[in-house]
Amino acid sequence: MRFSVDTGASNTILDGLTAAELGIKGTGEHPIVGAGKGEIKTKVAHNVALEIGGLRLRNLDVLITDLSSLASQGHSIDGILGYDLFSTVVVTFEHTRPLGETVVRYYTTTQKRERGWMPRRIFARL
């Protein structure tokens, strides 16, 4: 799956097709406003669990909307990781050469206490 990262997004957002494939159903209507023009209508799915490379996030309120307009270079995205990820861990982004990958690592507060901020690689290409 392909996810974008938005440190200013309050919640993680899933594309409507991705949510349907995962069996995640949203309810109600929750308009959001961002850097784009006007409001975006979303639905909300409560108590969603998300696992990214061994990092488990539980009890998330995930927003669901059409993200097809954010496709770039012929690749659609399945979602946007927001503040609910960044509020639980410290995240670093390291651009590598010559492959041009971005390595994303997270550090939990438990790791900070026990091992002095040992990183975990959560995905290699953004």
Tell me the per-residue pLDDT of 4-29, one tens digit each, with 9 for 90 and over. Answer: 888 788 888 999 999 999 999 999 88
Whether residue 116 is predicted with pLDDT greater than 60 in this model: the reply is: no
Question: Cα(first)–Cα(last) distance of the chain, in Å?
Answer: 10
Q: How far is CA 107 from CA 43, 46, 111, in A?
A: 30, 25, 6
Average pLDDT of the chain is 76
Same domain (yes/no): 76, 97? no
> Which domain covers residue 98, as residue numbers?
89-126
Its pTM surpasses 0.85: no
Q: Could you please report the per-residue DSSP string of 7-26?
A: TT-SS-EEEHHHHHHHT---
Q: Which amino acid is at 22?
A: L
Shared domain for 102 and 125, answered yes or no, is yes
Do 36 and 79 have their domain in common? yes
Same domain, 106 and 69: no
What's the CATH number where 42 sits? Answer: 2.40.70.10
Q: Are residues 74 and 98 in the same domain?
A: no
User: Which is more confidently placed, 31 or 14?
Assistant: 14
Specify whether the backbone of 42 is left (phi greater than 0), alpha (psi in -120 to 50) or beta.
beta
Same domain, 39 and 81: yes
Q: Which residue has the tokens 């957002």?
A: 13
Considering the domain architecture, whether residues 104 and 64 belong to the same structural domain is answered as no
- In this structure, are 11 and 58 located in the same domain? yes
> What pLDDT sits at residue 106?
72
pLDDT mean over 57-63: 88
pLDDT of 72 above 80: no
For the chain, how big is the Rg over CA atoms in Å? 15
8 Å CB contact between 92 and 105: yes
Residues 57 and 94 in one domain: no
Task: Please tell me whether residues 72 and 20 are part of one structural domain.
Answer: yes
Total domain count for the chain?
2
**Are residues 80 and 38 located together in one domain of the fold?**
yes
Kindly state whether residues 22 and 59 are assigned to the same domain. Answer: yes
Averaged pLDDT for residues 102-109: 68
